[in-house]
Amino acid sequence: MGLPDERTDRAAGVLLATATGDALGAGYEFTAPGSDAVIDMIGGGLGSFAPGEWTDDTSMAVAIAEVAATGADISTGPGLDAVAAQFVRWYESGPADIGVQTSAVLSKRPASAEEMRSIAAAIPGLKGGNGSLMRTAPVALAYLGDADGCLRAARAISLLTHDDERAVEACEMWTYAIRHAVLYGTFDGVREYVAGASTGARDYWTPLLDRAERGTPADFPNNGWVVDALLTAWWAITTTDATGPEHLQRALEQAVRAGHDTDTTAAIAGGLLGARWGASVIPARWTRMLHGWPGYRAVDLERLAVRTVGGGDDLEGWSSSLPVD
Ligand SMILES: [Mg+2]
């Protein structure tokens, strides 16, 4: 799918700002920086990450994008199997940080998407962790020309590890909104998804989104849960000054200030912020530091995003908008 330059920048922004939020939040995971804290890419955190290093959120997003970039339909069949296989490949790399539910599924090393989904479904107890929402952003890039396919793929990939309807709805909503932002440059996709959802989903999400737009992080404190994670990201996006591209940086820092699962809430916010504002507005001092599994840096994420949109097209005519060292 050919895109004009500003849409290419926004498509690249989806992966770049996911990684930026992730690496920014990594050093603050399970802390409470508070509303006045200065936030920067300090590294550290639970996985002893280097400054600028992204964590499981971005690595799993990369795993999805690598398959989508081949042109495969990642919503079903061999394409979905290939996504499952990439998740296992990442798990085999011995990541420093991995969510509880995701670990419980991938440690069984399922050999197919169907087997992975079955293992996820058999996990007892609460299954609505934020681990499928944190990685869903690249799904939007694979389906810029197909809104229904975008929703199908978001659902199928969420269910690989998270057998929970709210997690599915959150992934559908956010992926739909990211697709919408790349195409049209607005955040309207969040409410548009909800308006078109089932009555049950609409009645559930509408008052929560309203509350996020007016509330504080204390209103959704359990952001390891997919619902509060989405609301934290939406709070950060909608309660910071959005009149110019500096909004991206401001809202990422705000997501981290909310505390707790900071790399994930900022990664989730980053997927949508990057889709709205583009890769070129991310501060260069941050993009220069970015790195992570599988040995990638910012320019590799940018190329992967372009390939994901193109579905296997080559990169002829594409040139990076990132600063050169
Ligand atoms: Mg993480």
Residue range 314-321: mean pLDDT, rounded: 68
CA 189-190-193 angle, to 5 degrees, is 75
pLDDT digit string (tens) for 292-303?
999 999 999 999
- What's the pLDDT score for residue 148? 97
58 assigned ligand-binding residue: no
Q: CA 112 to CA 155: how far, in whole Å?
A: 17
Q: CA 159 to CA 9: how far, in whole Å?
A: 30
- What's the pLDDT score for residue 14? 98
CA of 191 to the centre of ligand 1 (A): 27
CA of 290 to the centre of ligand 1 (A): 14
Provide long-range contacts, Cβ within 8 A and 24+ apart, for 174-177: 174/133, 174/136, 174/137, 174/230, 174/233, 174/268, 174/271, 174/272, 175/136, 175/137, 175/139, 175/140, 175/150, 175/151, 176/140, 176/147, 176/150, 176/151, 177/272, 177/275
Residue range 320-325: mean pLDDT, rounded: 63
CA of 196 to the centre of ligand 1 (A): 31
The pTM score is 0.96
* 261, 269 Cβ separation under 8 angstroms: no
**Does residue 316 register a pLDDT over 70?**
no
Residue carrying the six token digits 């990685």: 135
Q: What percent of the chain has pLDDT over 90?
A: 90
CA of 199 to the centre of ligand 1 (A): 33
Which among 272, 298, 295, 276 is positioned nearest to 285, based on CA atoms? 298
**Does residue 310 register a pLDDT over 90?**
no
| pLDDT interval class at 5 (50, 70, 90) | confident
Q: CA 197 to CA 208: how far, in whole Å?
A: 15
* 256, 28 Cβ separation under 8 angstroms: yes
Q: How many helices (H) and strands (E) does the chain have?
A: 15, 2
DSSP 3-state assignment of 76? coil
Assess whether the previous peptide bond of 294 is cis (omega < 30° from 0).
yes
pLDDT digit string (tens) for 197-216?
999 999 999 999 999 999 99
- 260 alpha-carbon distance from chain centroid: 17
pLDDT digit string (tens) for 70-124?
999 999 999 999 999 999 999 999 999 999 999 999 999 999 999 999 999 999 9
CA of 96 to the centre of ligand 1 (A): 9
Q: CA 94 to CA 283: how far, in whole Å?
A: 30
263 assigned ligand-binding residue: yes
pLDDT digit string (tens) for 124-160?
999 999 999 999 999 999 999 999 999 999 999 999 9
Residue range 44-59: mean pLDDT, rounded: 94
- What's the pLDDT score for residue 1? 46
The CATH number of 5-310 is: 1.10.4080.10
- What's the pLDDT score for residue 116? 98
**Which residue(s) pair with 49 in the sheet?**
44
Structure-token pair, residue 193 = 């998804």
Could you tell me the CA-to-CA distances from 49 to 25, 263, 271 in Å, in that order? Answer: 11, 11, 21
CA of 314 to the centre of ligand 1 (A): 31
- What's the pLDDT score for residue 3? 58
Q: CA 100 to CA 85: how far, in whole Å?
A: 19
CA of 2 to the centre of ligand 1 (A): 32
Q: CA 229 to CA 232: how far, in whole Å?
A: 5
Q: What is the mean pLDDT of the chain?
A: 95
Structure-token pair, residue 37 = 């804290």
**Ranges of each domain in the chain:** 5-310
CA of 121 to the centre of ligand 1 (A): 22
Q: CA 139 to CA 127: how far, in whole Å?
A: 21
- What's the pLDDT score for residue 324? 53
| pLDDT interval class at 317 (50, 70, 90) | low
